[in-house]
Amino acid sequence: MAEFIEIKNLHFSYGKEESKQQDDVLCGVDLTVRKGEYVAILGRNGSGKSTLAKLLNLVIDDLENASGEILVDGVNILSDDMTEDMAFELRKKVGMVFQNPDNQLVATVVEEDVAFGPENLGLDPKEIRRRVDEALDTVGMSEFAKREPHRLSGGQKQRVAIAGVIAMMPDCIIFDESTAMLDPVGRKDIVATMEKLNREHGITVLTITHYMEEAVRADRVVVLNHGKIAIEGTPEQVFSDAGALRAAGLELPQCAQLIEELIKSGMSIKECGITPEDCARIILLAGGATCQ
Amino acid sequence: MSIKLELQNVTYYYGKGTAFEVKALDNVSFAVKERSITGLIGHTGSGKSTLAQLFNGLEKPTEGKVLLDGADIWDKKYKGGRLCFRVGLVMQYPEYQLFEETVFNDIAFGPRNKGMSEDEVKQLVMDAVSFVGMTPEILEQSPFDLSGGQKRRVAIAGIMAMQPEVLVLDEPAAGLDPAGRADIFAGIKRYRDTTGASVIIISHSMEDMAEYCDDVIVMHKGKVMLTGPKDSVFADSDKLVAAGLDIPQITRVMRLLKENGLDVDASVCTKDQAVAELIRAFKLK
């Protein structure tokens, strides 16, 4: 698969103009994301993960404080040659869904909200109609097309926000803690939507989250700590290294913690179980062997 | 243990008599014990946040009674003092409500409005800061220079500084990383242990509820579905699952093990309990 995002030796700090010395938020990040990949980015508060996401979409001030390269589809978006028009093109390719659903809905009718992006592209009304209908269908919100966004639940609002991004037909969507303010039902909806966009529509997905359970479903997990990549690998690899995760200020999913304790108590377990189903299967297997 | 806060047959309508009339609570009764940490669980729309606003008198029940120390807070003869000081409410994402120039002034806002002397205020602020596990150096900083987790703790300290007898928190750990969550819950526990207050926590995280609460109340469609000590509530996990609610991951593992013929207690809801139970079942050590 082709590389879609290539980050090379990225450094960034906020607000140099302030009197106090600001530490670098990002200090030497190298990361490659292939087209069609599903990557989860984890990290404690202040580890630099949201900053990284915002840089990818250039929705950040102080760009002069960034050094290194970010290639998106071959274009270095940090280069001095980057014009407003090019930034506009970039945001068509890389869409972003934020944490608070109330901060990203602009219209008073759901379908008008979804149409906001395509309308600003100056598309033909028929094409706008087609994109809006398709986007609402993809996120399962077609029946809410004529409703008022503020009367929807958090998860529904967030799905409308995603539809607004899809209507721009991006290659990649970044979810910046988009499930953090939702209830469990809303969270499941959004995670299912992310998976669908990735698996069925081939959209590259980058999701930033605190929920280990969500990261488990990604192709690859990247853990940031103090502005650097601390761990990188498949969910199985990342969650089998409890020491490294804790050093990065994170904690194992509860199921993996249970297995860790059982190993300490003398059970012979070699696998790492992240979901309750895996965890139960592994314990039964090991229990049988231990008792014989 | 005696009862601190009690709801008797409370029914509550939003927009009664309008086209948008919604029955948010339907004949709800439960009791919160003194010195207990009680978890309030339920789907969005199950009535949890309405309850939070009934506890400190922000909303008045359409029918039924809210009793604090046995006294009806809506009775004309109620003489229990200002409810907003007795029942402290920490709303969701309270860090957005910080407004003062220094952390000290922000935390002092409540006690000052309570009419305390400046010496008393100072003591209450110091106590509150230590409850949430922060050091006095932070007091002179602007709350807007702090990290998200620190802001959250300052906002909670602002309510603790009024030393409410009942502390109600709506999703106090939402959006924080694991270390930040642990800090918040340790602070809540320290407040309860030191002041002897009752604490009510609203949360979607079954794992946090299992870990930190003594009692649990499960709301479903405006009614109380289950209430009692957490072990007995999570022992009824069939009911929770049927209502579409999550159960703690550990309880799910134990249920799966039991379904597969292992003789374990499937009501177990914390990691430590599960480890002990499995050591027993497998005769380890």
User: Which residues of chain B have a CB within 8 Å of the CB of A284?
Assistant: 257, 260, 262
The DSSP bridge pattern shows strands A66-72 and A38-43 to be: unpaired
pLDDT digits (tens, 9 = 90+) for B98-154: 999 999 999 999 999 988 999 999 999 999 999 999 999 999 999 988 888 889 999
Q: Report yes or no: B2 at the A interface, CB cutoff 8 Å.
A: no
pLDDT digits (tens, 9 = 90+) for B237-273: 888 888 778 888 899 999 999 999 889 998 888 999 9
Report the pLDDT averaged over residues A229-249.
91
Q: Tell me: do B140 and B279 sit in the same domain.
A: no
**Which residue in the set A45, A276, A290 is minimally distant from B249, CB to CB?**
A276
* Residue A184 within any structural domain of the chain: yes
* Residue A70 within any structural domain of the chain: no
Structural contact between residues A161 and A152, judged by C-beta atoms closer than 8 angstroms: no
| CB within 8 Å: A210 and B149 | no
**In which domain, by residue range, is B255 found?**
248-285
User: Which residues of chain B have a CB within 8 Å of the CB of A226?
Assistant: none
> Which residue do the tokens 């009024």 mark?
B162
Give the CATH number of the domain where residue A90 resides.
3.40.50.300
> Comparing B216 with A22, which gets the higher pLDDT?
B216
Structure tokens at B266: 């499937």
What pLDDT does residue A1 have? 57
| CB within 8 Å: A287 and B281 | yes
> Comparing B20 with A202, which gets the higher pLDDT?
A202
Q: Tell me: do A114 and A258 sit in the same domain.
A: no
Smallest CA–CA separation between B12 and chain A, in Å? 20
Q: Tell me: do A140 and A272 sit in the same domain.
A: no
Q: Tell me: do A211 and A281 sit in the same domain.
A: no
**In which domain, by residue range, is A290 found?**
253-292
User: Cα separation of A41 and B178, whole Å?
Assistant: 15
Q: Please count the CA atoms within 13 angstroms of the CA of B252 that sit on its side-chain side.
A: 18
What pLDDT does residue B118 have? 95
| CB within 8 Å: A185 and B44 | yes
| CB within 8 Å: B147 and A258 | no
Q: Tell me: do B258 and B234 sit in the same domain.
A: no
What's at A223, amino acid-wise? V
Structural contact between residues A30 and A5, judged by C-beta atoms closer than 8 angstroms: no
| CB within 8 Å: B274 and A258 | yes
Q: Report yes or no: B278 at the A interface, CB cutoff 8 Å.
A: yes
Q: How many domains does chain A have?
A: 2
Smallest CA–CA separation between A174 and chain B, in Å? 17
Phi and psi based region of residue B199 (left: phi greater than 0; alpha: psi -120 to 50; beta: remaining): beta
What's at B270, amino acid-wise? T
| CB within 8 Å: A183 and B282 | no
Rg, Å, chain A Cα set? 21
pLDDT at A17 over 70: no
* Residue A85 within any structural domain of the chain: yes
